[in-house]
Structure 1
Amino acid sequence: MAQSIEQLRSTIDNIDQQIVGLLNQRAQTAKQIGSTKTDGVIYKPDRERSVINNALQTSTKALPDSSVETIYREIIAACRNLQQPLKVAYLGPEGTYSEEAARRHCGQTSEFVWASSIGEVLVMAENGQADIAVVPIENSTEGSVSHTLDLLQSTPLTICGEVASPIHHQLLTNTHDIKHIKEVIAHPQALAQCKKWLDTHLPNVTRTPASSNAEAARQAADSTEAAAIAGERAASIYKLAILHKNIEDEPNNTTRFLVLGKNETSATGDDKTSLICTTQNKPGALYRLLEILANQNINIVKLESRPSRQNLWEYYFYIDIDGHKDDAPIQNALEAIKDVTTSTKFLGSYPKGALL
């Protein structure tokens, strides 16, 4: 005979009591670990990735992997805070997609501070105002964030993690009737990513660029005739209604963010390494660089050229490759690359990020 709803709920109550008991045990153990640490490092993305992978391997798949990872990131954050709260810098103001990505990756109970430019975000982590910085590096439809690529040349920080975050644009407004909207405010990239939807539903409405989607939401909050394109968190912060959900033209719109800090990470078995290389300005220079990677059977995930801004028509190459710097093939390649480049900067080896 099937159990009644009351019996099933009683079973859930008993399970919840066990979960809380185990969470408290985990918290006590985390505090013990914190008291015995000698390096003072509170953010260890390699260890966190290992914990999450163990949970995913144990899962019976009654919950989707994405849900298990989200739950464990919050558990890790809560236990980490018992040792010392993690302070995370992001591109603000509050309500940006950068903040959403930072919160998904680091857990809602971490401390978050924002800056108005990517350069300022990095500086906050460089000078100790934050433990780590979360900055956008590329979007699946708009391509790389050039400013971030250029800043990676000069920052002393190391890439220690990444997170891929789905970008869903919402139409936020104070009105409940789309006919009342006379202006749409958004970051230029968001306007481009929602062009088809806007052309179809709001073809004659003024489109006004803003410095960020959160700033667009702030401006729209003061008007009864304006709408903003932003995320759900911005709607909550600025007390706007979501008039239409997910208005982006590409449903798989995703932005990848880098996590940068002062400490390197250990290999996890599923890592990525990032480099910046400058080659000699002569035929075959890039070919020789790529040949070294090919000879070591190293997969290139991303390759992009950018002006060096030092000499006219001189370019540097930003490269993402599969593997960790401690892997023998990459060690061999990094040594051999020195002979075919005029400069090479190791940016970091870090666990590959999951889509959160």
Structure 2
Amino acid sequence: MANDDKDLAPLRARIDALDQELLELLGQRAKAAQEVGKVKHGTNAPVFRPERERQVIDGLIAKNKSAIAPEGITYIWREIMSACRALEAPVRVAYLGPAGTFSEQAAFAQFGQSINGVPCATIDEVFRAVDAGAADFGVVPVENSSEGAVSRTLDLLLDTDLRITGEVALMIKHHLLTKSGTLDGVTRVCAHPQALAQCQRWLATNTPKLERQAVSSNGEAAKIAAEDATIAAIAGDIAQQQYGLSPVQSSIQDDPHNRTRFVVISHGSCQASGKDQTSVILSVTNKPGAVYHLLAPLAKHGVSMNRFESRPARRGTWEYFFYIDIDGHASEPKVAAALAELETEAAFFKNLGSYPRSH
């Protein structure tokens, strides 16, 4: 036996023993989770409580004295909780599909891998699946750091009764992918319209002669490219692996810090986690200073505004809906007071829900 093997042998034995201990503890945790599931079933309480899981992970990060980074703690315990939650009841999550999309990645980031995924062809179908009860939750993109709001999501948040119960922010890296890893014989580039927009400068400089075709998702683009050697797809790592594609060029997004924010939609609601955000939709009467007076309650009660987005009312007139994210949970006294005044001042008011902010 080599000297390094002799040195490693006791360390490996120690790791094996610790792994066995971890496995036994995980089994105990799983059993406790099943007991929790029985209690929840008796009271019709929801299986997934995002505020509770957020509190658990934040508490572990605060107590962590190991060399494991906070991101690692988050990932490990997200998967532990996902596997244990699946023992209570399978959670069905709808997302913009097919497999390999950033929406699927966002669903895994929020719920872990132990879910029943419900891939949908469009954002509209995600909303319909959740509204009809075919899925417990939906994950949809709402804004991108370089291209702004996803208008279809904003419209559907206005037009349905579904509420926001979580958010996920992902770093987005787009790759140009083909079957061969080259552009030999390639005539078109396919991607979701947002992805094409996020890579337009790179495409104009490096592939000016290739036709650009918008499709329903980057996962769909990757699926098409896997079946047709004349097609290149813009997609991420998961789609590349899912469909066996090779990169012509990696990270072609124009903004190196490109991020997309996704929201989780459902019929439910969240209790306060301590690090929350509340989203509302407002409109005002057409009079001087209307928007100023509308937002005055936020300043009055010391509530911070994290996001302000306007959207045409689509009524043939110059009217707008305003999508606003504010810091805090609706149950907090200062937030509750500000929301009450906003509702009085606004011509239209809709509370989309309070939920834990993404890390």
**1:117, 1:91 → 2: CA distance?**
6
Identify the residue that residue 79 of structure 1 maps to in structure 2: 84
Q: Which residue of 99, 103, 113 corresponds with 2:104?
A: 99
Shift of 1:200: 4.1
Q: For residue 145 of structure 2, what is the amino acid of its counterpart?
A: S
Identify the residue that residue 153 of structure 1 maps to in structure 2: 158
**1:271, 1:44 → 2: CA distance?**
14
Aligned residue runs from structure 1 range 124-203, under 5 A: 124-203=129-208
Q: Which residue of 30, 35, 56 corresponds with 1:32?
A: 35
For 1:304, what is the secondary structure of its paired residue?
strand
Q: For residue 93 of structure 1, what is the amino acid of its counterpart?
A: P
Shift of 1:180: 4.9
Shift of 1:178: 4.1
**1:300, 1:82 → 2: CA distance?**
39
Identify the residue that residue 126 of structure 2 maps to in structure 1: 121
Shift of 1:187: 2.1
Q: Is 1:217 the equivalent of 2:222?
A: yes
- Contact 1:167/1:253 (8 A) holds in 2: yes
Q: Residues 204, 279 of structure 1: CA spacing in aligned structure 2 closer, same or farther, 3 A cutoff?
A: same
- Contact 1:46/1:268 (8 A) holds in 2: yes
Identify the residue that residue 298 of structure 2 maps to in structure 1: 293
Q: Which moved more, 1:192-201 or 1:208-217?
A: 192-201
Q: Deviations over 1:45-70 (max 9, x none)?
A: 01010111112112225122112111
Identify the residue that residue 234 of structure 2 maps to in structure 1: 229
- Contact 1:159/1:348 (8 A) holds in 2: yes
**2:326, 2:249 → 1: CA distance?**
39
- Contact 2:295/2:342 (8 A) holds in 1: no
**1:311, 1:267 → 2: CA distance?**
39
Q: For residue 297 of structure 1, what is the amino acid of its counterpart?
A: G
Q: Which moved more, 1:196-205 or 1:213-222?
A: 196-205
Identify the residue that residue 325 of structure 2 maps to in structure 1: 320
- Contact 1:101/1:163 (8 A) holds in 2: yes
TM-score (normalizing by structure 1): 0.94
Identify the residue that residue 7 of structure 1 maps to in structure 2: 10
For 2:283, what is the secondary structure of its paired residue?
strand
**1:105, 1:86 → 2: CA distance?**
12
Q: Is 1:56 the equivalent of 2:64?
A: no
Q: Residues 241, 36 of structure 1: CA spacing in aligned structure 2 closer, same or farther, 3 A cutoff?
A: same
Q: For residue 26 of structure 1, what is the amino acid of its counterpart?
A: R
- Contact 1:168/1:231 (8 A) holds in 2: yes
Q: Which residue of 237, 246, 249 corresponds with 1:244?
A: 249
Q: Which moved more, 1:75-84 or 1:220-229?
A: 220-229
Q: Which residue of 106, 114, 136 corresponds with 1:109?
A: 114
Shift of 1:22: 1.0
- Contact 2:157/2:163 (8 A) holds in 1: no
**1:44, 1:333 → 2: CA distance?**
26
For 1:191, what is the secondary structure of its paired residue?
helix
Q: Is 1:67 the equivalent of 2:67?
A: no
Identify the residue that residue 48 of structure 2 maps to in structure 1: 43
Q: Which residue of 346, 349, 355 corresponds with 2:354?
A: 349
Q: Is 1:271 the equivalent of 2:271?
A: no
**1:225, 1:311 → 2: CA distance?**
43
Q: For residue 55 of structure 1, what is the amino acid of its counterpart?
A: L
Q: Which moved more, 1:327-336 or 1:244-253?
A: 244-253
Q: Residues 12, 197 of structure 1: CA spacing in aligned structure 2 closer, same or farther, 3 A cutoff?
A: farther
TM-score (normalizing by structure 2): 0.93
**1:137, 1:59 → 2: CA distance?**
33
- Contact 1:280/1:340 (8 A) holds in 2: no
Q: Which moved more, 1:197-206 or 1:121-130?
A: 197-206
Q: For residue 9 of structure 1, what is the amino acid of its counterpart?
A: R
Identity %: 45
**2:207, 2:121 → 1: CA distance?**
30
Q: For residue 212 of structure 2, what is the amino acid of its counterpart?
A: R
Shift of 1:7: 2.3
Shift of 1:203: 3.6
**1:82, 1:350 → 2: CA distance?**
25
Q: Deviations over 1:22-53 (max 9, x none)?
A: 11111010011111121231111010101111
For 2:98, what is the secondary structure of its paired residue?
coil
